[in-house]
Structure 1
Amino acid sequence: METRQKQWLEIIGTYQWVISFLFMGPIFSLLLLFLLFTPLWSLSVLYLVWFFLDWDTPNQGGRRFEFTRDWSIWKQLRDYYPIKLVKTAELPPDRKYVLAAHPHEIMCMGAFCNICTEANDFSKHFPGIWALFAVLHTLFYLPVYGDYIMSLGGCSVNWRRLDLVLSQPSSGQVVVIVVGGAQEALYTNAGEHQLILRNHKGFVCLALRHG
């Protein structure tokens, strides 16, 4: 019985992220539009005012919340695949880092689980390290969903904005970039790994600029 229950929890944990990834943005966009024509119109107006005042936050490193990253449901997502975090080197917190992630996959499950959640205890493996996951800026145009992504450690992948993030005086910052981009996600043949690097070397220039 416990094994059966565990399997269902893993499925729920995985589908929670899949459904959020695919539908959270459109659903909340339509909900805000719908509320404008109801007695609750003020809720939509207040959120939209906040949304536009907060427009540039993803470009400045986002707004990470440990509470969201610590949800126990992420451990179910981890166990479903399963996803592991194997530490092979120290990351001294007195420096800044640009890390390349591979493979991209369709939804970056491996990188997401290890970097954007504490399912595999990233912060315990690398104390003093503040990790940000660079994602497409268009995701932050979606109401509520953009805030959700930021709470997990998401920030804009625009290189000018990453320059701004890495130029901040504090140390221990890590920017994680899935260097193959969306093009790499198209290569999904089982048992094969395709690393797309031609015309995708901007992360090297970014790292060199910031030492």
Structure 2
Amino acid sequence: MRINFAPLRIPWRRRVQTAVVILWVFSFLVLAQCCIALFIILLFTCFWFIPVLYATWWFWDRNTPYQGGRRSHFLRNLRLWGHFRDYFPIHLVKTVDLDPKKNYIFGFHPHGVLVAGAFGNFCTMATGFSEKYPGLKPHLLMLSLWFRVPFFRDLIMGGGLVPSAKESAKYLLSRAEGGNIAVIAIGGAPEALAARPGALTLLLKDRKGFIKLALQFGAPIVPVFSFGENEVFDQVKNPQGSLLRKIQERLQKVMGISLPLFHARGVFQYSFGLIPYRKPIHTVVGKPIDVEKKENPSQEEINEFHQKYIEELTKLFEEHKTKYNIPEDKHLTFI
């Protein structure tokens, strides 16, 4: 394989952008494991009291992630997130105003490999979410497993992340004061196994839990499509039915997390590595679909509204796709 090395003379700002993205990838892949290791190691040193005190406080604080978390204005506004945004770059595209007195569900598509667009737009202030949607607070739902990791749980809560559990979403949607957004990557971890450049397949046909939540709380659902989300990483070929895909799906069911074998570029060369490509991401936030509150919606009502959601998401995609270099003859596929 011919290696395409990066030029020696690269503007300093681009080097900083790359460094921040390396930190982000590291955080996604191994920071949780490092936090677990640190917690255990400290127990066998003269600093044993640190994990003991933390564990005590952790027990007292165990319900916080399920009650809106603990957002950190300081963490979300760090200047380094501006470098993260500019690396791709990431853009947040507003189509309509949203009422800050209401609570919303954002259906985010596609999941991608590491949900770069969702992180940049909803876990940081780098793309100006508060300026575009004043009075609203986005909370990205993340696998509950990560909120059991010492130290790491506090870091991700600071970014506005909360567990992807029903009680967590219900807490946000039940706030009478409004202003909360539950951002859900609907396809979840399984959809990440299909994330690769050009992919337009969404795992949505049997994903109806968010519809039921919206009906129970009367929360409008907003379809969100992140153009370019699947373009920033390649993935080892794993078509449906292949041995690799079967192993990945089995591990996903057992562990709760998917293990896509992704790759892109490196630090000093562009031929291989785990750093995402510099491809633009445009996250388009559509118009809300109003929902009539029904505490005990029937399956027929859920199915009907689910179909309406698919239609609105498709409409959003079709209206914007040519702006972001998707050919006119390409369409979404739902499985």
TM-score interval w.r.t. the shorter chain? over 0.9
Gaps of 5+ in 1: none
- Relative to structure 1, is the Cα distance of residues 178 and 2 closer, same or farther in structure 2, using a 3 angstrom cutoff? same
Gaps of 5+ in 2: 1-7, 219-335
Question: After TM superposition, which residue ranges in structure 1, 4 or more long, deviate above 2 angstroms?
Answer: none
Trace 1:16-95 onto structure 2 (pairs within 5 A): 16-95=23-102
Among 103, 108, 130, the residue aligned to 1:123: 130
Letter in 1 for 2:183: V
Match of 1:152 in 2: 159
For these two proteins, the number of residue pairs brought into alignment is 211
C-alpha separation in 2, matches of 1:161 and 1:152:
16
More helix by percentage: 1
> Which entry has the higher C-alpha Rg, 1 or 2?
2
Q: CA deviation at 1:188?
A: 2.0
Equivalent residues of 2:103, 2:172 under 8 A apart: no
- Percent of aligned pairs sharing the same letter: 38
Q: CA deviation at 1:72?
A: 0.9
Trace 1:138-149 onto structure 2 (pairs within 5 A): 138-149=145-156
C-alpha separation in 2, matches of 1:48 and 1:199:
39
TM-score by length of 2: 0.61
Among 21, 25, 50, the residue aligned to 1:14: 21
Q: CA deviation at 1:137?
A: 0.5
Among 89, 92, 103, the residue aligned to 1:96: 103
C-alpha separation in 1, matches of 2:179 and 2:166:
19
Q: CA deviation at 1:90?
A: 0.6
TM-score by length of 1: 0.96
Q: CA deviation at 1:130?
A: 1.3
Equivalent residues of 2:111, 2:195 under 8 A apart: no
Match of 2:143 in 1: 136
Partner of 2:91, secondary structure, is coil
Q: Does 1:209 align with 2:216?
A: yes
Q: Does 1:176 align with 2:183?
A: yes
Partner of 1:176, secondary structure, is strand
Q: After the TM superposition, which of the residue ranges 200-209 and 115-124 deviates more from structure 2? A: 200-209
Greater RCO (Cα-Cα under 8 Å, separation 6 or more): 1
